[in-house]
Amino acid sequence: MSSPYSGATPVGSPQGQDPYGQSNYTVPPEESYGAHSGTVGTPTTAEGRPDIEGTSVGQLFGELAKDLSTLMRQEVALAKAELQAEAKKAGTGAGMMVAAGLAGFLTLLFLSNALWWALENVMDAGLAALIVAVLWGVIGAVLFSMGRKKLKQVNPKPERTVDTLSDVPGALKPN
């Protein structure tokens, strides 16, 4: 059941008219963000308060339930979007670490043999192999620390959702 009490018209707007030139619409359908509980605005009194005279308590509670349901759906959608963005950052950091590990392994494999053979011309083969292993260990440690630094930038807490949810109790209190 649709009701004419699904949102408020802006204060100062003539009754039945909003700044968009439409009749009692709070947000034009073509400019709306997400799902709204209704598209018809609530008429307001001269003081800017909703004009609910003649509306039953059941209708008001129905509108409240519909608006809270819409608010919660929008908050869940916001949390989902924030978590997806953070997961993308985490995936990028993890992918960089994997790529660095693979590149390090292949580099270690081919250049180690070349350097080992080159050093073997001037010293014992075992000492040459040890020098090469230490060199690639240092490079691997640097790559690991860079990847770890990138992963520390990930924030698993959906900040904007927490901020907007903290505003909900205040919005439910009477002015």
Provide the sign of the torsion angle of the four alpha carbons 147, 149, 153, 157, taken in this order: positive
pTM above 0.85, yes or no: no
Residue 171's pLDDT is: 67
Question: pLDDT tens for residues 148-162?
Answer: 998 888 877 777 877
- 127: Cβ–Cβ under 8 A, 6 or more apart, which residues? 119
Which of residues 169 and 110 earns the better pLDDT score? 110
Rounded to whole angstroms, what are the CA distances from 85 to 37, 72, 82, 133? Answer: 27, 20, 5, 39
Q: How is residue 28 annotated by DSSP? A: -
**Torsion angle (degrees, nearest 10) of CA 89, 93, 95, 100:** 160
Determine the straight-line distance between the first and last CA of the chain, rounded to whole angstroms. Answer: 28
Residue 64's pLDDT is: 83
Write out the two tokens for 22: 């439409």
Mean predicted lDDT score pLDDT of the chain: 75
